[in-house]
């Protein structure tokens, strides 16, 4: 099966990229030409699901689409550094007699441009550069170059953006466009092919769902006789068998009220919307979501995946009935799925392992705390807030913060009064 590669870029860049991609029989290309940056989203939106990966002719369209956030497939862009820039500077120097310090540049960072000039043995360095991290308009770049040229500070502009090139030509500014080269396109294509192979391998990794079903809820309103219990388990098993077939997996019993479904990572990633949501078990399979607590484990072997699923289930049970957690093969734990307070923390951190040895707190507790602070975007938190995030009692959260304070890893920085009659809550700054 061919890799479907979407390619978006200006007309002159796509011609060069296309000459390279035609040499790869494993690629099926979808070229999209844009004339103005503001048209990019309208051009690409109808084809969001038509490509397995996306390649952009430069940094600007790549950054715009990445920040847009609607494409979840892997993306890359062709860099303008290296042979592309060297070819442009060689032309300016040897055919036009223009030196580097007489040129205004855009797109590159100062560090990479300096490094390039040192490698090219150009000693004087550059004088004028417009670097940008996000997207930028052609008009803004054209204004930068034109102002320097009209002031007599430069003799030419070097731009990486096609629309800026056309705008500068209209304004009568001498401009030279840095175009991709075959040497620049080839390594990006090879990188995308390797990424595709890696993702295919990950999709076929073993994944295990460990589900714990509350059979007492199934028996609600009935008796607790042995035959009724067995009938409830049979009904649940039949529902889970249909769900397992939907996952192209197999079902096995793993203890009273506990079941394991063995499938693949790619299928589970799809049904959980990239591990952010729980599948609709009730409408599709007649299983009440609040009756099922689930741990998903990913591993290189079925045994490893099952161990990870059991660990994820323990974390899910800590969060309460109906919670789903995921334990990945890199030891990262994510969840609960389907909630606005989903966090990700690691079960294997050298830094947190060292801190755990200094305190009475486990690595996982410290990892959860670290993840919560990153999610909140602040190092300050009180026990009530920490308890809500970790779904533990405030007094348990208070013990965690007091332990960190005692070991010099947290300090009280203030107090908050939730209401006039309530006891003030200490605010801690955590220093992990």
Could you report the per-residue pLDDT of 351-400, keeping only the tens digit for each? Answer: 777 888 888 888 778 888 887 887 787 889 999 888 888 878 888 889 99
pLDDT of residue 22: 92
Edge-to-edge order in the sheet of strand 3-9: 27-33, 3-9, 53-56, 75-77
Q: Is residue 319 situated within a structural domain? A: yes
Residue 159: pLDDT band (50, 70, 90) is very high
- Asked which of 340, 371, 398 is the last residue of a domain, the reply is 340
Pairing label, strands 425-430, 380-382 = antiparallel
Does a structural domain hold residue 120? yes
Has residue 91 been placed in a domain?
A: yes
| pLDDT tens-digit readout, 281-318 | 888 888 888 889 999 998 877 778 888 898 899 888 88
In the numeric block, which tokens belong to residue 429?
Answer: 């700054």
**In a shared domain, residues 274 and 296:** yes
Residues in the chain: 432
- What pLDDT, on a 0 to 100 scale, did the predictor assign at position 129? 94
- Kindly state the DSSP code that residue 82 receives in the 8-state scheme: T
Q: What is the DSSP letter of 219?
A: T
3-state secondary structure of 122: coil
Shared-domain flag, residues 59 and 191: yes
The maximal CA–CA distance of the chain, rounded, in angstroms, is 96
CATH of residue 416:
1.10.10.10
- The answer to whether the CB of 107 falls within 8 A of the CB of 131 is yes
pLDDT > 70 in the chain, percent: 93
pTM above 0.95, yes or no: no
Q: Residues 154, 102: one domain?
A: yes
For the domain that residue 223 is a member of, what is the CATH number? 3.30.70.270
Assess whether 37 and 17 both reside in one domain: yes
pLDDT of the residue at 47: 94
**Do both 381 and 305 map to the same domain?**
no
Q: What's the CATH number where 163 sits? A: 3.40.50.10660
Tell the residue number behind the tokens 């975007």, with chain if given.
377
Domain of 92?
83-179
Residue 328 lies in a domain: yes
Residue after which a domain boundary falls, among 279, 309, 340: 340
User: What DSSP designation does 424 have?
Assistant: P
Based on the fold, state whether residues 110 and 247 are members of the same structural domain: no
Quick one: 269 and 379 in the same domain? no
**Residue among 308, 312, 291 nearest 299 (CA):** 308
The CA-CA-CA angle for residues 302, 307, 308, to 5°, reads 95
Instruction: State the pairing for strand pair 258-264/292-299.
Output: unpaired
Q: Nearest Cα to 78, choosing from 64, 57, 109?
A: 57
User: What is the SS3 assignment for 131?
Assistant: strand
Distance, in Å, from the CA atom of 132 to the CA atom of 115, rounded to the nearest integer, reads 18
pLDDT bracket for residue 50 (50, 70, 90): very high
Single residue among 146, 179, 212 that ends a domain in this structure: 179
In three-state secondary structure terms, 152 is coil
Q: Are residues 284 and 261 in the same domain?
A: yes
pLDDT in tens, 181-224: 888 899 899 888 888 877 777 777 888 999 998 866 655 555 55
Q: Is residue 419 part of a domain?
A: yes
Q: What is the pLDDT of residue 210?
A: 92
224 with 119, same domain: the answer is no
- Domain tally for the chain? 4
My answer on whether 168 and 139 are in the same domain is yes
For residues 22 and 99, membership in a common domain is answered with no
* Whole-number pLDDT of residue 420: 61
What is the Cα–Cα distance from 128 to 60, expressed in whole angstroms? 20
Domain of residue 35, CATH code? 3.40.50.2300
DSSP string, 341-410: T-EEEES--HHHHHHHHHSSS-HHHHHHHHHHHHHHTSSEEEHHHHHHHHTS-HHHHHHHHHHHHHTTSE
- Whether 210 and 106 map to the same domain: the answer is no
Q: How far apart are CA 103 and CA 176, in angstroms?
A: 10
Residue 220 lies in a domain: yes
Residue 345, in any domain of the structure: no
Helix (DSSP H) and strand (DSSP E) numbers for the chain: 17, 18
Is residue 125, in this structure, part of any structural domain at all? yes
**How close are the terminal C-alpha atoms of the chain, in Å?**
47
């Amino acid at each position: 099966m061919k890799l479907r590669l979407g390619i978006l870029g200006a007309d002159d860049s796509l011609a060069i990229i296309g000459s390279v991609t035609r040499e790869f029989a494993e690629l099926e290309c979808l070229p999209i030409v844009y004339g103005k940056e503001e048209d990019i989203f309208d051009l690409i939106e109808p084809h969001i699901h038509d490509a397995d990966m996306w390649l952009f002719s430069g940094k600007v369209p790549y950054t715009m689409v990445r920040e847009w956030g609607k494409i979840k497939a892997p993306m890359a862009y062709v860099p303008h550094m290296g042979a592309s820039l060297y070819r442009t500077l060689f032309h300016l120097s040897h055919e036009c007699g223009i030196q580097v310090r007489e040129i205004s540049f855009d797109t590159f960072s100062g560090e990479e441009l300096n490094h390039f000039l040192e490698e090219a043995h150009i000693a004087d360095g550059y004088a004028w550069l417009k670097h940008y991290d996000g997207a930028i308009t052609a008009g803004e770049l054209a204004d930068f170059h034109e102002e320097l040229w009209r002031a007599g500070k430069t003799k030419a502009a070097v731009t990486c953006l096609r629309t800026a090139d056309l705008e500068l030509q209209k304004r009568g500014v001498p401009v030279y466009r840095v175009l991709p080269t075959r040497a620049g396109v080839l390594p990006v294509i090879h990188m995308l092919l390797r990424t595709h192979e890696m993702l295919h391998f990950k999709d076929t990794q073993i994944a295990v769902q460990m589900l714990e079903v509350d059979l007492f809820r199934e028996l609600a309103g009935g008796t607790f006789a042995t035959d009724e219990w067995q009938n409830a388990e049979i009904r649940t098993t039949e529902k889970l068998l249909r769900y397992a077939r939907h996952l192209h997996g197999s079902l096995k019993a793993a203890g009273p009220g506990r079941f394991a479904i063995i499938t693949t990572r790619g299928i589970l990633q799809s049904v959980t919307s990239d591990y952010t949501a729980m599948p609709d078990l009730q409408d599709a399979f007649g299983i009440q979501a609040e009756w099922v607590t689930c741990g998903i484990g990913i591993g290189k072997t079925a045994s490893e995946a099952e161990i990870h699923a059991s660990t994820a289930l323990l974390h899910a049970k800590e969060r309460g009935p109906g919670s789903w957690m995921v334990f990945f093969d890199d030891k990262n734990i994510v969840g609960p799925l389907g909630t606005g307070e989903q966090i990700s923390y690691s079960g294997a951190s050298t830094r947190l392992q060292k801190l755990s040895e200094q305190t009475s707190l486990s690595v996982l507790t410290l990892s959860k705390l670290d993840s919560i602070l990153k999610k909140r975007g602040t190092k300050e938190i009180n026990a009530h807030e920490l308890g809500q995030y970790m779904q533990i009692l405030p007094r348990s959260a208070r013990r965690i913060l007091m332990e960190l304070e005692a070991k010099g890893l947290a300090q009280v920085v203030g107090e908050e009064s939730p209401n006039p009659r309530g006891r003030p809550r200490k605010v801690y700054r955590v220093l992990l």
